[in-house]
């Protein structure tokens, strides 16, 4: 029996193959409350089946269609509605997370600007003297930029560390052994994770520096 | 602009010292901020403190000093870079007469080293005592410029 396979890259993989006996066993499991059904069925009556998992859920229908007409294939069945629901849900979730992240980023920027303004206000005497004595603008700015940078980077580090801990707690312990394809998107390889971690730190530092520069603007004219 | 400020020393009526720094550190600040190296700072600051007569108070904080002494620190800070001009805005405004005399003598000493001292004041007595070039301002306009002048209130 041949099954259509994508020539170049695997778009799906076979997750299960049930022969007559295994199909019969599963049939028994599903309808265990109704033994009368079992009496009239023999293993040979149940078709052999391949359970197939697509690499990308979007391709589900496409794969089903291609396999439908092949020799030896009676029917290609998709859990179409469920797949669509999951796809929609993940799309909405992804969008929501983007919006939430954007809002949080803006909030942290605002917080850093405010903190730096407070710090500047607290040290205005020193800054005044610095400027009187002839300090350049950057000389005054640098300590505040450093403070902003630290705040931003530490914040990002804590956030990333928190997510990592959640990942270990949830996916490491609670869901151990339950890894299935539905949750596949939540997993990241360690190299990906490190990259994301560095990106977080960089974004945090940038927000910190930008925030401190914005916070200083009002005070640099003496 | 900051570079221009480095050639001008400023002294104010309220001294504008940094309370968290010692006398030595306050004066050194003027050099640090410009980026002078440590060895320059270490040689110049004691010299200046000697000029203003505060060597013994180098490690004190501004709140431990009298008004006159604090003003001397300000003058030291303003002068440590040997600026071309020293601007003084009512430097003796918060000081008693005896201390005032001391400050004026110090400014005179500084002037003798070649720095131009421009002072704004309402104190008639010291203007009359010094008899230097007097520029009188009335409502923002210059109404008198006299080379050996007294205070005088023009009608």
Q: Tens digit of pLDDT for each residue in A3-14?
A: 555 455 567 777
Nearest to A125 among B2, B18, B77 (CB): B18
Tell me the chain A residues in contact with residue B2 when contact means C-beta distances shorter than 8 Å: 131, 134-137
Lowest-confidence pick of A45-49, A174-178, B29-33, B56-60: A174-178
Q: How confident is the model over A105-111, as a mean pLDDT?
A: 87
Strand pairing partners for B119? Answer: B88
Burial class (CB in 10 A: 0-12, 13-18, 19+), A61: middle
Residue labelled with tokens 């600051």: B45
pLDDT along chain B (155 residues), means of 10: 84 91 92 88 92 91 93 93 92 90 92 92 89 89 87 66
CA distance A131 to A124: 10
Task: Compare A41 and B23 and report the one with higher pLDDT.
Answer: B23
CA distance B120 to B133: 12
Q: How confident is the model at residue A181 (pLDDT cuts 50, 70, 90)?
A: low
Q: Over 70: is that where the pLDDT of A130 sits? A: yes
CA distance A140 to A131: 8
User: CA dihedral defined by A197, A202, A203, A209, rounded to 10 degrees?
Assistant: 150
Nearest to B3 among A125, A132, A134 (CB): A134
CA distance A107 to A65: 48
pLDDT at A3: 54
DSSP structural state of residue A151 = H
Q: Would you say A31 and A50 are in contact if contact means Cβ atoms under 8 Å apart?
A: no
User: CA dihedral defined by B67, B20, B89, B106, rounded to 10 degrees?
Assistant: 50
Count chain A–chain B contacts defined by CB atoms under 8 A.
38
User: Which chain A residue has its CA at the smallest distance from B83's CA?
Assistant: A133
Residue labelled with tokens 């359970």: A51
Q: How large is the ipTM? A: 0.77
SS3 for chain A, per residue?
CCCCCCCCCCCEEEEEEECHHHHHHHHHHHCCCCHHHHHCCCHHHCCCEEEEEECCHHHHHHHHHHHHCCCCCCCCCCCHHHHHHHHHHHHHHHHHHHHHHHHHHHHHHHHHHHHHHHHHHHCHHHHHHHHHHCCCHHHHHHHHHHHHHHHHHHHHHHHHHHHHHHHHHHHHHHCCCCCCHHHHHHCCCHHHHHHHHHHHHHHHHHHHHHHHHHHHHHHCCC
Q: How confident is the model at residue A68 (pLDDT cuts 50, 70, 90)?
A: confident
pLDDT at B49: 93
pLDDT at A186: 62
pTM (2 decimals)?
0.64
- Closest C-alpha among A216, A209, A194 to residue A108: A209
pLDDT at B119: 93
pLDDT at A216: 80
Chain A interface includes B88 (CB < 8 A): no
CA distance B22 to A134: 20
Q: Please provide the DSSP assignment of A64-103 as one string.
A: HHHHHTSTT-------HHHHHHHHHHHHHHHHHHHHHHHH
- Taking an 8 Å cut-off on Cβ atoms, the answer to whether A133 and B33 are in contact is yes
Written as six digits, the tokens of B109 are 């000493």
């Amino acid at each position: 029996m041949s099954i259509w396979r994508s020539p170049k890259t695997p778009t799906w993989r076979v997750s299960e193959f049930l022969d007559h006996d295994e199909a019969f066993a599963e049939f028994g499991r599903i309808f265990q409350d109704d033994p009368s059904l079992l009496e009239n069925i023999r293993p040979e009556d149940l078709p052999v089946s391949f359970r197939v998992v697509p690499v990308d859920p979007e391709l589900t229908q496409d794969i089903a269609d291609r396999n439908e007409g092949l020799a030896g294939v009676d029917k290609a069945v998709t859990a179409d509605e469920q797949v669509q629901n999951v796809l929609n849900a993940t799309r909405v979730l992804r969008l929501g997370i983007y919006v939430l992240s954007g809002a949080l980023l803006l909030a942290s920027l605002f917080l850093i600007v405010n903190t730096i303004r407070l710090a500047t206000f607290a040290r205005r005497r020193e800054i005044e003297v610095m400027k009187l004595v002839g300090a350049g603008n950057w000389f005054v700015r640098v300590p505040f930029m450093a403070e902003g940078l630290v705040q931003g980077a530490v914040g990002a580090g804590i956030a990333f560390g928190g997510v990592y801990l959640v990942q270990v707690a949830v996916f490491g312990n609670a869901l151990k052994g339950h890894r299935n394809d539905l949750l596949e998107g939540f997993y990241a390889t360690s190299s990906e994770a490190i990259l994301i971690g560095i990106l977080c730190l960089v974004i945090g530092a940038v927000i910190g520096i930008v925030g401190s520069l914005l916070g200083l603007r009002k005070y640099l004219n003496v | 602009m900051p570079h221009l400020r480095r050639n001008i020393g400023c002294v104010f009526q309220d001294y504008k010292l940094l309370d968290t720094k010692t006398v030595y550190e306050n004066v050194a600040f003027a050099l640090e901020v410009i980026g002078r190296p440590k060895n320059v700072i270490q040689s110049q600051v004691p010299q200046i403190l000697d000029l203003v007569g505060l060597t013994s108070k180098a490690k004190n904080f501004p709140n431990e000093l009298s008004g006159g002494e604090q003003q001397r620190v300000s003058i030291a800070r303003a002068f440590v870079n040997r600026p071309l001009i020293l601007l003084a805005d009512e430097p003796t405004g918060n000081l008693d007469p005896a201390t005032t005399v001391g400050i004026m003598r110090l400014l005179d000493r500084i002037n003798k080293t070649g720095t131009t001292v421009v002072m704004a004041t309402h104190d008639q007595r010291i203007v009359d005592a010094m008899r230097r070039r007097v520029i009188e301002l009335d409502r923002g306009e210059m109404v008198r410029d006299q080379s050996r002048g007294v205070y005088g209130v023009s009608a």
